[in-house]
């Protein structure tokens, strides 16, 4: 019998498209998780400026908050954190075996709540930024 076909080529040749809610939730959860880890390092480094002196810390914070891009990114950070929390709660329920047949709806609800909270936070974060 001939060697089985090398799967590498099939990947270019036509692919499975069965991307369901659970898969998107998984991808977004990993993605937001990595962003939060990255933010954690940045957060600690900004806080560490207080080790130099209180003034340096205040200047750093004021400098950062003076940048419009930072204000916009804060809205994004909130959205990332909220989604991660919401989907994390969904995953806890999944681990406990509760409402597994509703898991896709829970994912959509996480997205919806994230969007609502992010939009609602815009006035607070962007006040006086532009």
Partner 1 sequence: MSVDRRTDTEPEAGAETQDENLVELKVFRYDPDVEEKQKPRYDEFLIPRERGMSVLEALIEARDRFDPSLTFRHSCRQAICGSDAMLINGQHALACKTLVEDLAEPIRVEPLAHLDVEKDLVVEMEHFYDQMAAVEPFFDPDELPDDALTEQRQSPENREQIKLSTRCIWCASCMSSCNIAAGDNEYLGPASINMAYRFLMDEREGEQRGAERIEHIADDHGVWRCQTQFSCTEVCPKDIPLTEHIQALKREAAKKNLKFW
Which residues of the shown chain bind partner 1 in the complex (CB under 8 A)?
A: 1-5, 7, 9-10, 13-18, 20-23, 25-26, 91, 94-97, 100-101, 103-104
Q: Which one, 75 or 91, has the nearer CB to partner 1?
A: 91
Q: Transcribe 72-112 into DSSP letters.
A: HHHHHHHHHHHHHHHHHHHHHHHHTT-SGGGHHHHHHHHHH
* Least gap, CB of 60 to partner 1 (angstroms): 39
The label of the residue with tokens 């200047």 reads: 59
Q: Say how far apart CA 128 and CA 130 lie, in whole Å.
A: 6
Residues 6+ apart with CB under 8 A from 122: 75
Q: Which one, 74 or 104, has the nearer CB to partner 1?
A: 104
Q: Which one, 71 or 90, has the nearer CB to partner 1?
A: 90
Q: Which one, 24 or 57, has the nearer CB to partner 1?
A: 24
Q: Say how far apart CA 32 and CA 99 lie, in whole Å.
A: 24
* Least gap, CB of 24 to partner 1 (angstroms): 9
* Least gap, CB of 28 to partner 1 (angstroms): 12
* Least gap, CB of 84 to partner 1 (angstroms): 15
Q: Say how far apart CA 61 and CA 59 lie, in whole Å.
A: 5
């Amino acid at each position: 019998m001939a060697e089985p076909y090398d799967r590498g080529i099939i990947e270019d040749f036509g692919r499975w498209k069965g991307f369901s809610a659970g898969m998107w939730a998984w991808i977004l959860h990993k993605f937001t998780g990595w962003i939060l880890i990255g933010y954690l390092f940045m957060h600690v480094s900004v806080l560490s400026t207080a080790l130099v002196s209180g003034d340096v810390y205040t200047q750093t914070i004021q400098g950062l908050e003076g940048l419009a891009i930072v204000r916009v990114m804060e809205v994004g950070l909130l959205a990332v954190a909220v989604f991660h929390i919401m989907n994390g709660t969904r995953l806890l329920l999944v681990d406990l075996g509760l409402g597994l047949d509703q898991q896709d709806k829970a994912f959509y609800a996480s997205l919806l709540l994230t969007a609502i909270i992010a939009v609602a936070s815009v006035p607070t974060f962007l006040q006086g930024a532009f």
